Amino acid sequence: MKQPKLEVRAKQLIEVDGLKFKDLNGNGKLDPYEDWRLPYAERVKDLVSQMNLDEKVGMMLINTRFTGYQVPAGEPTSHDGIIDERVIEEGTNIFAKRKIWPTTHTINELHLRHFILRDNYSPTKLARWNNAMNEICEASRLGIPCISTSNPRNENAEFVFGMNDAMGVFSTFPATMGIAAAVLGEKALGKDGQIFSDFAQAARIEWNAAGIRKGYMYMADVVTDPRWQRTYGTFGEDPELIADAMERFVDGFQGDELSAESISLTTKHFPGGGPRENGFDPHYKEGKWNCYLTPGSLEKYHLPGFLAALKSGSFMPYYSAPSISKSVVQKIAGQDVPFEEVGFAFNWYLLEEVLRRRFGFKGYVNSDSGITDNMCWGVEELSIPERFAKAINAGTDIVADTNNAPDLKTAIEKGWISMERVDEANSRLLLEMFQLGLFDERTYVDAEAADEIVANSPGWEKAKEVHRKSVVLMKNSNQTLPLAEGTKVYVQMWHKKPETSAAKTAEAREQIGAVPGLVIVDQPEDADALFLMVDPQSGDYFNATPGLLELTICENKPLKAVDGTEYTETTVSGAEEFRQMARDGRARGQKVIISINYSLAWIIDDIEPLADALIGSFHSFFDAQGEVIAGKFKPQGKLPITPPASEAVIAVDEQGVCISPNDVPGYDKDQYLPVGMSYAYTDADGNVYRLGHGLTY
């Protein structure tokens, strides 16, 4: 076997048979786990046999860990300011209720080796941090390295903790639904999903350069309830498209099998987060249930994406629990699924019987964040050690965003979790680290080269192309688009936050003004065409709205809460100003082009009639949209979701039952609606805005 290039910073290299090895436990001899010539399984078995209980417990936890770069001056850091050594008291993190210890203490005393990285610094800075973390790990008793994971970093978005932690440093594509819109456009032209593959292969280069070896990505969830706030982050509602995406992502990020060049993926959120109870999200108790109202919906719509991703390094179960009373019996391969009303990380049947035994999944199960403290649906009455036991015994191997080693250790010491099961979980977790080369040639990366590697990634040019291809021309009355050369255009953007509206308007005018053929004017009255852009926002990621999530373009709209009280909701500040500007433009004979940013399946029955041309975007760059309206790029994007026709098609009755089933995608809902009612929006020109809709010129 070829000698790998080994680097040590805290221990020594030893020579055996003319070859070099890391002496990770410092005993002066070659142990099987240190011998890179041996099969991974043999190395894992030896290492697990040498680990004590505290080390095994720490291996089964993953916690958010911030870098030292954002530590205020005068507060403790190490490794030249790279490592955060602060003590942060409990209650400062939305997920964990535990005291946050300094990094070195967390590694050496709590024995954690898995960390969630949320900071958004340059690739070189991130690589230095990963290297410093592993230097601390190497100095520990057994020299077990650590691995950092991250939420996606390659999509354009707004910052949302836990969903969009970092962006703009790596190549920046449109939001995931925009990537899906571009691929659907390619497929309509007779091409395939190569965009998914190109994206993954480019991102893999960038993540490797920064030393981030694992991604909490991507969402294989199918959108079936339009009020689900996590629609953003999915690839829409087409199970076939999502399966294609997941298969290509696993291949593009991981390769045929995990290796020293792979980024290991955590596919989420098994067995699918789409069938929400009227859209409420399980980050809060109002959304704790998955509701399967339709025979066969679990297998037909929600599982295909996960089946395509079975080679993922790990799977993440969703917070939610399946409701028995609000579901019909579901079958998988002809066999009934016996639902247990506990969160999916606690659900033995779906994790062990279905995912592992029937589907053949070989990776490990990584819980979502906070399942033993906050989002512990179905096991609220259990003590925290009992919750750990329930999750681990159900097949969850690592519990996310907690450093609560004492309660996990208590569950083991009380015999609620067997040592056999603890060793099994550790073996699965360590196997991935060996496969990724973290014990051998990939413990450290070339941090000083990281910025240049990312800057030269093929992802940047590919991203520009995908932004253009993501733009969906939904309506084009009387051939409004493309605009003629020299057209004077007024541009304005509306957002929920007025300060964001102003900043985005300035950005949009600058970018669109750089598109050849368009002349940007400062006043709407001076324009030939108005380009009016809306970016609605609805609800709060971590808190339930008083009533159902609002999907209309509105400001201070009177609504009734679930308990009957009244409240108001705003999705766009200045919504009436936006409408009036469109009406005034039409009255002056100007062309009115409206762009809607689809982070949710917005209801636009009072917006579309104001537009001569209507564009759907997905955090698509402003200049990409400008190129489409100016005729510099012929639109080809297709809708990855079906926007509802009106509030009537998603109305919820007094018993809490939605008129269109929560577990069926929009393109397939019509068969369940009353006769004469259609789910998809139809515009004034007769265009039906169903999955796959998109015009060109």
Q: How much is the pTM?
A: 0.97
State what percent of residues in the chain have pLDDT above 70. 98
Q: Per-residue pLDDT tens for 24-75?
A: 999 999 999 999 999 999 999 999 999 999 999 999 999 999 999 999 999 9
Q: State residue 145's pLDDT score.
A: 98
Q: State residue 157's pLDDT score.
A: 81
State the average pLDDT over residues 641-647. 98
Q: State residue 167's pLDDT score.
A: 74
* 149-173: b (≥16 Cβ within 10 Å) or e: bbbbbbbbbbeeebbbbbbebbbbb
* Phi, psi angles (nearest 5°) of residue 679: -75, -45
Return the amino acid letter for 120: N
Partnered with residue 63 across adjacent β-strands are 115
Q: State residue 163's pLDDT score.
A: 63
Question: Do 368 and 268 touch, CB atoms closer than 8 A?
Answer: yes
From first CA to last CA, the distance across the chain in angstroms is: 59
- Answer yes or no: is pLDDT of 403 > 80: yes
Closest residue by Cα to residue 88 from 99, 78, 79, 77:
99
Measured CA to CA, the distance from residue 394 to residue 365 in angstroms comes to 10
State the average pLDDT over residues 390-400. 98
Measured CA to CA, the distance from residue 253 to residue 459 in angstroms comes to 13
State the average pLDDT over residues 309-313. 98
Q: Per-residue pLDDT tens for 154-202?
A: 999 876 666 667 778 999 999 999 999 999 999 999 999 999 999 999 9
Closest residue by Cα to residue 536 from 477, 591, 634, 607:
607
Q: State residue 343's pLDDT score.
A: 98
Mean pLDDT of all residues belonging to the chain: 96
CA atoms 497, 501, 502, 508: torsion sign: positive
Question: Do 345 and 368 touch, CB atoms closer than 8 A?
Answer: yes
Q: Would you place residue 542 in the very low, low, confident or very high pLDDT band (cuts 50, 70, 90)?
A: confident
Q: Would you place residue 496 in the very low, low, confident or very high pLDDT band (cuts 50, 70, 90)?
A: very high
Q: State residue 586's pLDDT score.
A: 97
- Crossing angle for the helix pair 194-210 and 176-188, nearest 10 degrees? 150
Q: Per-residue pLDDT tens for 261-283?
A: 999 999 999 999 999 999 999 99
- Give me the residue label for tokens 């205020």: 72
Measured CA to CA, the distance from residue 178 to residue 236 in angstroms comes to 9
Q: State residue 137's pLDDT score.
A: 98
State the average pLDDT over residues 298-325. 98
| Residue 484 Cα distances to 156, 471, 487, 622, 697, angstroms | 29, 19, 6, 19, 13
Q: Per-residue pLDDT tens for 63-97?
A: 999 999 999 999 999 999 999 999 988 766 554 46
Measured CA to CA, the distance from residue 271 to residue 316 in angstroms comes to 9
- Answer yes or no: is pLDDT of 208 > 80: yes
Q: State residue 584's pLDDT score.
A: 98
State what percent of residues in the chain have pLDDT above 90. 95
State the average pLDDT over residues 667-679. 97
State the average pLDDT over residues 601-623. 98
Q: State residue 95's pLDDT score.
A: 46
